[in-house]
Structure 1
Amino acid sequence: MRSLLRAATAGAVTVTAVLACGTAHATPPGPGVSGRVLFQTTIGDTDYTLREVTIPAGQATGWHYHDGPLRGYVKQGTLSHFDSTCASDGVYTQGSTISEPAGSDYVHIGRNLGSTPLVLDVLYVLPHGSPFSQDAPNPGCAFE
């Protein structure tokens, strides 16, 4: 009985270890990345939120997607934007605007490759109660 229990336990540990190694992990935002709500309202089933997002030099948002579209304005710095193929899909300098579509098929990351803080004003148009973003695993890019 004991050997059967040991074998079952060893098998469970092996399965757990294999599953843990094969699991993709979400990538959190870099240290110091912050956001503060400037304005928020709900109309019908849609939340409209204006946030100021700050990304320190050398940091990134982490891989993510949004449940609704968003529009952004670069107040300061430069946003380097990458899609899930690891390709740059835009570099946005001060005064530029950016639009991001909704959905899990648009996983992306925003990076501040500059030497000064990046400051964005972002309008989120989300289904009521949705988070600002949904974490996603790194799709295999050499950078975070």
Structure 2
Amino acid sequence: MNKRMRAGMVAAVAATATLAGAATAEATPGGPGVTGKTISQTTVGGKDYILRQITVPAGQGTGWHFHDGTLYGYVEKGTLSHFDSTCKSDGLYESGSLLTEPSGSQHVHIGRNLGTTPVVLNVLYVLPHGAPLSEDSPNPGCDFQ
């Protein structure tokens, strides 16, 4: 799938998520006040497709983690600061931006809200069937959480 088709798919999924509203609340995926709500979930061909809305309050973050599958995100509100395991920024995603998080333990990262308003993300998880949403990782030595 080329980048334009992928971006269109993520935008369509995010728009659907925004119109669909939130379903049941899930466990907190990060720091205090970070919430995640599952909007829809299905399994096709051995892969789980899970659409979630994640809210990160001002001053909070997702915690260090990685995923066993690829994630496609749309920033509905706010600005997400994204950092890799070298403690360097690997992206600044403002409202209306698309982002992709690759799979595997070599892609440990953290998302942080350094702004003053909540960050709201619509995220499509494409995971091997039965895989967790994320795998916790220790702080790789960065002076922030």
Distance, in Å, in 1 between the alignment partners of 2:133 and 2:72 is 12
Q: Which residue of 2 aligns with 1:56?
A: 57
Alignment: residue pair count: 117
Structure 1: gaps spanning 5 or more residues: 1-27
Cα deviation digits, residues 52-73 of structure 1 (max 9, x gap): 0000000000000000001000
Residue of structure 2 in register with 1:129 after alignment = 130
**Residue 94 of structure 1, CA deviation:** 0.2
Q: Alpha carbon RMSD of aligned pairs, Å?
A: 0.8
- After TM superposition, the score normalised by the length of structure 2 is 0.80
The letter of the residue matching 2:113 is N
Q: Which is higher, the Rg of structure 1 or of structure 2?
A: 1
Q: Distance in 2 between matches of 1:62 and 1:70?
A: 16
> How far 1:44 sits from its partner (Å)?
1.9
Deviations 1:74-130 (A, max 9, x none): 000000000000000000000000001000000000000000000000000000011
| SS of match in other structure, 1:105 | helix
Look up the equivalent residue of 1:132 and give its one-letter code.
Answer: L
1:89 aligned partner = 90
1:18-57 mapped onto 2 (5 Å cutoff): 29-57=30-58
Q: State the Cα distance separating 1:134 from its structure 2 match.
A: 0.2
TM-score in terms of structure 1 length: 0.80
Amino acid of the structure 2 residue aligned with 1:82: F
- Whether 1:76 aligns to 2:77 is yes
Q: Give the superposition deviation at 1:29.
A: 1.5
SS class of match (1:132)? coil
Corresponding residue for 2:110?
109
**One-letter identity of the residue aligned with 1:122:** V
Q: What amino acid maps onto 1:29 in structure 2?
A: G
Runs of 4+ residues over 4 Å off in structure 1: none
Q: Counterpart amino acid of 1:104?
A: S
**What are the superposed Cα offsets for residues 11-59 of structure 1, whole Å, 9 maximum, x if unpaired?**
xxxxxxxxxxxxxxxxx72101010011110002100000000000000
C-alpha distance in 2, partners of 1:68/1:57? 27
Instruction: Write the letter of the residue equivalent to 1:76.
Output: K
